[in-house]
Amino acid sequence: MKVVILKDAAEVAAYGAEIFKKQLLKKPDSVLGLATGSTPVALYNELIKLNQRGDISFKQVKSFNLDEYLGLEGDHPQSYRYFMNDKLFNHVDIDKAQTQVPPGNAEDPVAACQVYEQAISDAGGIDIQLLGIGRNGHIGFNEPSSSLASRTRVKTLTKATIDDNARFFAEGEYQPHLSITMGIGTILESKKVVLLATGESKAEAIKATVEGPLTAACPASALQMHKDAVLIIDEAAASELS
């Protein structure tokens, strides 16, 4: 696992975008694994600029998102499908039919998880997976204690994650406690992994990821086993590293 420490969130986004640019120039029909949350938004803005300048194209890209809330329709403003359309897909030349987010409205969520895994495999696997990290070390919605071999499945969110994400929901608005998430085993099969972390609130999780033991107590520590994983973090997120 490689760790790149940069000054601030803007540098993290620019560095991460450069990796995605290189990937798309090398393989225009790349299969991208994408994430939501606050952290990747600046990177998506960089990719939008690069696309609008004609430096990169998403025309041949396929994408798979990490996770989705179970119980939200794709047009719900807090759904991750809505987020991806709003923050990236609506602004680049991607074919939306080639973008996949786990179906939060699936009638049979367990079957939908298997279909999702199969779709990733049919696409040839993920070439590059973007990740954020939760304060408790989660990746996707793989909360602490998730099996390191887990596959796409329905997962209950911890109170910590529900509380962290409450900021996106209006007071009194229904906030799901269940999700569909790619598993840690699924994530580890991506050819390349790029994890972004910024801010002091992520410092403990980054320390556990980089310097802690490989453990389900910190799901991101599984990346220690990946042969091409890079953590791009700012000085604040690196502040607990020894």
Residue 76 falls in the annotated catalytic set: no
Q: Which amino acid is at 136?
A: N
Sheet containing 153-156: give its strands across: 67-69, 178-181, 153-156
Give 46's Cβ-side CA count (13 Å radius).
18
Active site residue 177: no
Tell me if 180 sits within 8 A of 106, measured CB to CB.
Answer: yes
The nearest distance, CB 106 to ligand F6R, in angstroms, is: 17
Residue 60 beta carbon to ligand F6R: minimum distance, rounded to whole angstroms? 24
Cβ 197 to ligand F6R shortest distance, Å: 8
**Beta carbon nearer to ligand F6R, 138 or 207:** 138
How far is 125 from 67, CA to CA, in rounded Å?
16
Rg of the Cα trace of the chain?
17
**Selected catalytic residue, list 46, 65, 67, 68:** 67
Give min distance, CB of 52 to ligand F6R, in A: 24
Cβ distance to ligand F6R smaller for residue 57 or 106:
106
Of the pair 66, 233, the CB lying nearest ligand F6R is at 66
What is the contact surface with ligand F6R in residues (CB under 6 A)? 35-39, 66-67, 132-134, 138-140
- Of 27 and 135, which has the nearer Cβ to ligand F6R? 135
Please pick, among 46, 51, 127, 136, the residue that the annotation labels catalytic.
Answer: 136
Catalytic residue among 46, 127, 138, 226: 138
Output the smallest distance, CB 55 to ligand F6R, in A.
Answer: 25
50 to each of 25, 35, 45, 83, 147, how far by Cα in Å? Answer: 12, 19, 9, 20, 37
Residue number closest to ligand F6R, CB atom: 132
Q: Is 138 assigned a catalytic role?
A: yes
Residues 101 and 171: their CA atoms lie apart, in Å, by: 26
Contact between 224 and 148 (Cβ < 8 Å): no
- Residue 70 token pair: 């179970």
The one catalytic residue in 117, 143, 189, 234 is 143
Catalytic residue at 29? no
What amino acid positions are annotated as catalytic residues?
A: 67, 136, 138, 143
